[in-house]
Chain A
């Protein structure tokens, strides 16, 4: 067993939340209970330890039942903070995150978080209160049709109209959220249902006729794949978030496949960590800000094996005339609707990718890819990610490299969205699955910091770092109260360039440097902001200060915000302009 596999095994040690048999028995005991008591029992029976939320009128019965309950509740300062925490918890562990919000504004404040989870296939259980049923449809105080509002951004949603349905619905919700292609499920509970009493009974099984995800791949298709792979001269594996969702076994099988057949690997933003970033077969991320080697491998390959990816426009640039045009495409995915959605597929393989990869590895004979690997190596050597290094000016890329060095890549790193997110993707070679937590699909600013809180709650013993920007951090900075009050030692690295950097970059390149509304002047002093919440704040303006401040931050036992003041003008390169193909990369400045 090599080092990577050993590390992967370690990843399997998710927080122990298995119920003790006596507790399970106690929880399943028949009793006449209120809807809110039933809800909490169901959550405990599903192995939930933490819920994130914010109370209000319509969830008063639920919060009353929470009083003194075994479930641990984290009171966020905004529902969006709560749901991103639940999301970070879910992405770090693979277990469903649970969030509770009240009706109306509480529920609508979840919307961005639900969409974020939906786009990245994250299992969440979103519990909202609603007004009592006799008031539904009357435009009552704090009434919102949250089931209707969230229909397009949930995997499924429920409005509970009878307390007797509640245990079945909770059971189904957990099943739907965590199986197949995971996703958020909403349960809207009117206040009268929370208050209504009934005899509690928890079903052992779910019965959903319209929901039977394909888990195991079709054997004939596997054989076809195994015939095609050895014949390829220039194969490439493109792995995505599906490799992470599928579990550590999927990464293991992916490494096996790549090593056995000597196929170079690129992973999407969501797939980073699914294949070790320092592995010799790894080419970096592809696409808009991807590596030269990865993009050119995609241009030149004769076989493309997509594993748990959806070929989105940040990877293909939506220029299919310039994407893997010489290649036959094999597509492994658990969601049949992804097959053929964006690219034409030669061999589809529907199933959980860990099983599909395992089945391929079982039968696969290998071909000869030496020449191709030499070509890839030459590209990697000639065009690595570079930036103009400096001893005086603090470069954002240097901050990310420093964070990587200081943690040996062992940390869980969450990000917000924009330039810093891309720099993390480029300069932080993630070692393990679930150590990269980022909003890839929806691109939600304000995600990183609360997501880090959720991840740290799940793994108190691991270093959890939120790399964020001065824009994104201000969208959910109020959650500093949470790390302060619970002493959650998250390390927040604010890459502070005083502007909305990615917007600025696009305005510079595509809008003739007409900088429109990107100046974040008026931002608070982040050190003082942290201190105002009782959190340690540090600032660095030079490479030397950065090193000192970061070491201090890691030494400090509690939460820390480090304000890394960097120039506004730094751009993310390479870049493929929107509308251009992968062959038209803007390479940016060479290393000085």
Chain B
């Protein structure tokens, strides 16, 4: 479809059982796409913050926002990608190594400011943090060595400056 763009939506929700199901279910039944979803605590006890990365045209994003706002447990919704924001993701990458290429891999990950957090006989676990492009780029570079496992957290994001998704 045309005008399909990636959007990052920040949702402040009640920390109640079933809230994730409500939000995910809403996306599912209305045919909205979820690229990634992260949930965790917020600055206020009793409230959680969800970051959802989704794709759609302007109309879809508007509908997503409005439908989310109808959920009783949703306190606030903000489309972060409408403004300046920072978005970060953490990935763990388990890659094959041998004594010969260990140093080479260290050289590759260094400019990414990634770190080795586990060293095994034949594998390393590399931890990288950054935006999705950076993580994708590192994965591409590590592929030739043989990637055994990838685990990505999904995007966590915030508006820059003082704009915040908080209760009025």
Residues of A within 8 A of B (CB): 147-148, 151-152, 155-157, 159, 176, 208-211, 335-337, 339-341
Contacts and interface: CB of A to CB of B under 8 A. Distances in A.
Interface string B53-93: 00000010011001101111111000000000000000000
Contacts of A151: 18, 21-22, 25
6 contacts: A152-B29, A159-B18, A210-B13, A337-B63, A337-B66, A340-B62
Closest 3 interchain pairs by CB? Answer: A337-B66, A156-B72, A210-B75
A337 B59 CA distance: 11
A338 B70 CA distance: 11
A211 B72 contact: yes
A336 B25 contact: no
B161 to A, nearest CB: 25
Most B CB within 10 A of own CB, among A147, A152, A210, A211: A210
A336 B69 contact: yes
A157 B25 CA distance: 14
Nearest to A172: B72
Nearest to A337: B66
Nearest to B77: A210
B14 A210 contact: yes
B62 to A, nearest CB: 7
Contacts of B67: 337
A461 B66 CA distance: 43
Nearest to B63: A341
A337 B69 contact: yes
Contacts of B22: 151
Given A155-B72, A176-B72, 14 more contacts: A148-B18, A152-B25, A156-B72, A208-B72, A210-B13, A210-B71, A210-B75, A211-B72, A335-B70, A336-B66, A337-B63, A337-B66, A339-B66, A341-B63
Q: Is the interface of B mostly helix, strand, loop or mixed?
A: helix
Interface string B93-122: 000000000000000000000000000000
B167 interface: yes
Contacts of A157: 18
B23 to A, nearest CB: 10
B144 interface: no
B17 interface: yes
User: Interface size bucket, B side?
Assistant: 20 to 34
B69 A209 contact: no
A155 B14 CA distance: 16
A148 B69 contact: no
Nearest to B71: A210
A158 to B, nearest CB: 9
Given A152-B25, A336-B66, A147 B18 contact: yes
A176 B73 CA distance: 12
Contacts of A210: 13-14, 71-75
Interface string B142-168: 000000000000000000000000010
Given A152-B29, A209-B167, A337 B21 contact: no
Given A148-B18, A151-B22, A337 B70 contact: yes
Contacts of A341: 63, 66
A339 B65 CA distance: 12
B75 A340 contact: no
Interface in B5-22: 13-14, 17-18, 21-22
Contacts of B13: 210
Given A147-B18, A151-B22, A152-B25, A209 B75 contact: yes
Interface string B127-139: 0000000000000
Contacts of A211: 72
B137 to A, nearest CB: 38
B114 to A, nearest CB: 39
Nearest to B68: A337
A306 B167 CA distance: 33
A211 B29 CA distance: 22
A465 B22 CA distance: 39
Contacts of A148: 18, 21
Contacts of B59: 340
A152 B23 CA distance: 10
B14 to A, nearest CB: 7
Contacts of A147: 18
Contacts of B63: 337, 340-341
Contacts of B26: 152
Nearest to B70: A337
Most B CB within 10 A of own CB, among A159, A209, A339: A209
Contacts of B14: 209-210
